[in-house]
Structure 1
């Protein structure tokens, strides 16, 4: 295939990838919204609701390393399509049970588990395939469009879910999801996952699964920058539990914000992500991604600490609402500023044959620590005033970033930065 045709195909991939991701993510989030309402409506039990969340998180954590191994060993196109077909069949099975016997908690839990497994295979494989789908110059745009699709889904799915849940039956709801999933399968089947791929071991390796995963860990250890990034991500995800638990607790229990206004602040978070995703999709690639992400995490630390501010000073109701709207918008924007440059850097740094295993290892560790953080901080908020937990978490986060991403580490990642500073300094002296 000549270069011009490849570039045209890459442009096509940008749109099909984004639309497919939007359909599948939007469908999954609307389904999660509706099924959560349904569980609470038929049982009124928080335990049943939590069990469904566990059926989503636990399979993802357990299956992610295996998904990475499969993504590195076999055809990534086949894996993505089979994962989406599995999603379609799982929802079709739930629809059959609903029409035949009526929805039961057991059927919902099984479906949620299957969807979580299929989603893990799909997300790990898609993350591993970006450099095969688009040319190197447009990796940042691909990552930004992916984030944009997720932001659109985050903003629109609660509204769509609420509207549909009140207007149509659960069976109609499931039929709509099945149709959306089939559309995603059709789009994914038209994509060429090997257009720019540089894989050498697809279907050739004789390693066992354990040996392959061990090789992935060994490869990761040779990349000091990646190890630093992973430690930063793990600590940020763990401390994010302080924000996840504390934010709802502070706004609803301590500051008595109405559910409607609380929802608006959540929407501001998604809006911040969306606007920055659009910005990154049209701007040129970030020159110093590690440095930009370091600064973004530092800002996240200050935002985490600022969350406690209305607990320590008297503010009017509308001042509190406005403060958290701005805070959450900034938080959403910072997530994109941190994630997009780092994801682009990782896409370029990690060899094609190891991407599945590396991305799955990162996802496994991040997902394993988030529930632990939420449980720990859940207990802490019952025992200690919220402002102290938020301020202490912010201080720890800032300290970790300053230590792990110290100037000497930044120089190793971006040695050209030192030379650029020297040139600017000499130019200033000459003036």
Structure 2
């Protein structure tokens, strides 16, 4: 009877998590789309737009290690609820500021930095709390639902934001986001974060000592270190796609801008479909073997980006080809990343999970911009065909070496025990 009640609570946590993440993802997608259009319409400057991206990425990367310490030191539920309340109050403060002084680019930069910082605490605490919320047996479904909410936000946010931008003011965008985050806050407050929690005695130690202990713990987990290296390699090399695809479409093939937008947006469809598939199927028996094969497929897809540069295709065929390619690329990205995330969640002890995920967040968030800068410079100086083919081969070799059978195990049972 007790176990049945526990399962019911876990199921309720699972679906509350899905709805909460979906609402906040769509709300942020609407806001982010409106902010992007506002900056470009007011300043007409790509540099101003890029500056906002820096304010969105850098504070999150810097705050993540501290967020990990806080998630391990205090109640994860309090951290999640307090951070979501902080985001909601920040939006309300921006609304008040807008009514008093008007909307400005400097205000956007400030609120973006605040969201990014507080978002690090919310994201790290939520990630480290997932096994406590739903149990290890439901991790695949929970992480798939997280991808589903992100995909719906990526699709629905710009779609709703695009419809709203021409008809309503930025104040309405802010109200929409505040309401979305307030609803998410109310939902998260009802979740039982201690359902599968392992009670541990929290040691009284300084922030710096605690962070060092987290690094020491991570150094003693060779499997986690290997999977982290795989993730960082994928984030770095696949940034060639985010930078180079638009360059190839616009500069090399002359694809119209409206088609470029559809091609880029089709990736979210692939993520959504594959996330729904993973959420509905049974647990993967060999998650790391599955992730390895999916990553190999992504490498092949990266190489295939060059095909229209070798063979002449009609504009329609080029459009269809790249749409299908991006659907597959994003779909296999889910198949590669989700199993790796599940294994990491399972093998890390509860008392260190926040700090480990804080480290992962910092490294993962930071690797994307570094890769974008490097590949951006390369695409200005080298043939795009060479870059994509070399990227595919280098990553293939990295994954083959890092995920060789002698380095990591492929058995499912060892990761859920």
TM-score tier by shorter-chain length is over 0.9
Structure showing greater radius of gyration is 1
Q: Is the 8 A contact 2:61 2:362 kept in 1?
A: yes
Partner of 1:185: 185
Aligned to 2:156: 156
Structure 1 moving runs of 4+ over 2 Å = 412-417
Shift of 1:47: 1.4
CA distance in structure 1 between the partners assigned to 2:410 and 2:275 by the alignment: 24
By how many angstroms is 1:416 displaced?
A: 8.2
| 1:58-207 correspondence runs (5 A) | 58-201=58-201, 204-207=202-205
The answer for the alignment partner of 2:306 in structure 1 is 308
Alignment partner of 1:4 is 2:15: no
Change in Cα spacing, 1:217 to 1:139, as seen in structure 2 (3 Å) is same
Aligned to 2:224: 226
- What is the number of residues matched between the two proteins? 414
1:414 — aligned with what? Answer: 411
TM-score, normalised by the number of residues in structure 2: 0.96
Are 1:54 and 2:62 counterparts? no
Instruction: Please give the TM-score of this superposition, normalised by the length of structure 1.
Output: 0.93
Q: Give the whole-Å Cα distance in 2 for the aligned partners of 1:139 and 1:235.
A: 24
Alpha-carbon distance in 1 for matches of 2:365, 2:338: 19
Alpha-carbon separation, structure 1, partners of 2:318 and 2:91: 42
Per-residue deviation at 1:267? 2.7
Contact 1:225 1:413 in 2 (8 A): no
* Residues 30, 173 of structure 2: 8 Å contact kept: no
Q: Could you say what secondary structure the match of 2:159 adopts?
A: helix
Partner of 2:373: 375
Q: Residue deviations 1:277-331, cap 9 Å, x none?
A: 1111111100111111111111111111111111122111111111111111111
Q: Secondary structure at the match of 1:194?
A: coil
Offset of residue 268 of structure 1: 2.0
- Name stretches of at least 5 consecutive residues in structure 2 with no aligned partner: none
Contact 2:284 2:412 in 1 (8 A): no
Work out the CA distance in 2 between the residues paired with 1:194 and 1:322: 48
Q: Distance in 1 between matches of 2:167 and 2:412?
A: 58
Aligned equivalents of 2:39, 2:257: Cα separation in 1: 20
Aligned-pair CA distance for 1:7: 1.1
Work out whether residues 243 and 304 of structure 1, in 8 Å CA contact, stay in contact via their aligned partners in 2.
Answer: yes
1-structure distance, mates of 2:316, 2:101: 49
Distance between the aligned counterparts of 2:371 and 2:345, measured in 1? 28
Gaps of 5+ in 1: 418-431
Alpha carbons 1:269, 1:333 under 8 Å: kept: yes
Distance, in Å, in 2 between the alignment partners of 1:242 and 1:83 is 33
- Give the match's secondary structure for 1:21: helix
| Distance in 2 of aligned mates of 1:2 and 1:180 | 35
| 1:393 maps onto 2:391 in alignment | yes
- Cα distance in 1 for partners of 2:46, 2:280 equals 44
Given candidates 280, 292, 295, the residue that maps to 1:294 is 292
CA distance in 2, matches of 1:50, 1:269: 22
Q: Show the counterpart of 1:338.
A: 336
Cα deviation digits, residues 201-223 of structure 1 (max 9, x gap): 3xx32121111111111111221
Deviates more, 1:158-167 or 1:133-142: 133-142
